Amino acid sequence: MIDKLEFFITLAREEHFGRAAEVCGVTQPTLSAGIKQLEGQLGVMLVLRGSRFQGLTPEGEQVLVWARRIVGDTRTMREEMRAARHGLSGRIRIAAIPTALAMVARLTTPFRAKHPGVTFSVLSRTSIEVLSLLGNFDIDAGITYLDNEPLGRVISVPLYDERYQLITAVGNPYSDRDKVTWAELSQLPLCLLTPDMQNRRIIDQHLAEAGTEVRPTLESNSMIVLFSHIRTGKWSSIMPLNLSETFGFSEPIRAIPIVDPDASHTVGLVATPREPHTPLVSALLDEAMALADDFRARH
C-alpha cells in the first residue's frame, strides 16, 4: 500500500506517467498497475486518463491529502527506528531562496558537528517552489520569507530580518553617501533577481511605494551573476544586509543602506505542521532556534 501511495503522490506531482515511473525507479506499466490496484482497493477512480495524464478526480484530490499524511508518517516511523538503533543519521533536504543561501552554512555546520552521521542536500529555489516542494515531501525544510506572501499550513522559526542596501562601486552615483532613498535608485543601471523571485517582488513593491519604477539592465536568478556584474564597477544592485555582511564587500565596492522606508522582511525556516516530526527535522528546528538566538544577539 505504501509503495502504491508513493506512486500516486509522484504521479500527482509530475503529471506524467513516464516521468513519475522514472522518479520512482520502476517501469511505466508497473506504476500504472500499482495505481489501478490502489483504485481497486479504495473503490474509486483517482486519475483522469486518456492518451495521457489529464489530472486527478475529486476523489483523487482527497486521497492525495491522505496519501501525503500516511507516507509522511511512515517515513517518520522509519527514521525514528533508525535513530533508535544507530543515532541520528540520514540526509536532510533543504530548499532556500537565493538571498538566504549565504547563511545556510551557519545552520548546517553546527548541526553536523553535533550529528556527524547526517548529510545535506541544499537547493536554490523560489519561495513558491520552496512551499511546493515542502508540500510534496520533496524536501524536509525550507528557508524563505515569512511575512510577505501567504505561506499556507507550515510551522516556522524566524531567523533574521532582511534589510536592503545599494551595492555599488566607488565612483558611481551615490557611492559617497551614507544612505540613499528608494526613489533615488531609478537613476542607476541595476542588475536584479528575476521577477519570479520574491526578493525582486519585494524590491518592486518598495520602489512603487516610493513613487518610482526601475527597469533593470540585467536580470538573473543567480546571485553569482549579480555579484560578478557588480564587481565590474559598471552595475549596481539592491541586496539584503546579511549578504553584504557575509561576502564582506570592501573597496572599491560599497554597501549603502536604503531608507524612506527602512524596510525589513523576516526570513525563517519552514517545515510541515506534523507531529511528531522526523528526528532529523526536529533536530533541525532546534538548531534553527539556536541560530535565531545568535542572530538576535548580534543585531
Instruction: Write down the pLDDT at residue 90.
Output: 85
Residue with cell 506504476: 31
> 0.85 exceeded by the pTM?
no
Give ∠ CA 255-256-257 in degrees, rounded to 5.
Answer: 125
Distance CA 290, CA 154 (A): 19
Pull the grid cell for residue 117. 552521521
Coil, helix or strand at residue 235: coil
Alpha helices in 210-278 (DSSP H): 223-230, 241-247
Strand 155-169 relative to strand 237-240, pairing: antiparallel
Neighbours of 131 (CB within 10 A): 22
Per-residue model confidence as pLDDT tens for the chain (299 residues): 899 999 999 999 888 999 999 999 999 999 999 999 999 999 999 998 876 888 899 999 999 989 988 888 888 788 778 777 777 888 899 999 999 998 899 999 999 999 998 999 999 999 999 999 998 888 999 999 999 888 988 999 999 999 999 999 898 999 999 999 999 998 889 999 999 999 999 999 999 999 988 889 999 999 889 988 988 889 999 999 877 777 666 668 888 999 998 899 999 999 998 777 888 999 999 999 999 988 887 76
Check if the beta carbon of residue 247 is closer than 8 Å to that of residue 227: yes
State residue 241's pLDDT score.
82
- Residue 286: predicted pLDDT: 94
